[in-house]
């Protein structure tokens, strides 16, 4: 049987006073990408770099590359399909994730 201290994130002695979380935005360590069953796939030919996908993503999971394209970060993308549905050019297709 593993002990509490082996399975827990930290022992109670390490919990900061008041349960403060002292590292801003450290949820980036929590990778929500494995929730996904569909992934957005971009067709650069159709993309007009309008940024709708980026601004409407709830995570946010989009980042802009040097060429100005918005590229999905699959570490966080949950596969909701909003980006594909708001893209005015139909440049994003949701494709099933193979296991």
Interacting residues toward ligand SF4 by CB under 6 A: 40, 42, 47-53, 57, 59, 61-62, 70, 72, 77-83, 87, 89, 91-92
Task: Determine if 57 is a binding residue for other proteins (CB under 8 A).
Answer: yes
- Specify whether the CB–CB gap between 59 and 78 falls below 8 A: yes
Rg (CA), the chain: 18
**Minimum CB separation from ligand SF4 for residue 20, in Å?**
24
Q: Which residues pair with 94 in a beta bridge?
A: 40
Q: Using the rule CB under 8 A, which residue among 47, 69, 74, 78 binds other proteins?
A: 78
């Amino acid at each position: 049987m593993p002990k509490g201290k082996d399975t827990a994130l930290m022992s109670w002695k390490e919990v900061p006073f008041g349960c403060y979380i002292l590292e801003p935005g450290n949820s980036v360590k929590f990778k929500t990408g494995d929730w996904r069953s569909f992934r957005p796939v971009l067709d650069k030919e159709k993309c007009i770099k309008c940024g709708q996908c980026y601004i409407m993503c709830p995570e946010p999971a989009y980042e802009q590359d040097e060429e100005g394209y918005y590229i999905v970060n699959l570490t966080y993308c949950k596969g909701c399909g909003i980006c594909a549905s708001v893209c005015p050019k139909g440049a994003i297709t949701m494709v099933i994730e193979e296991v």
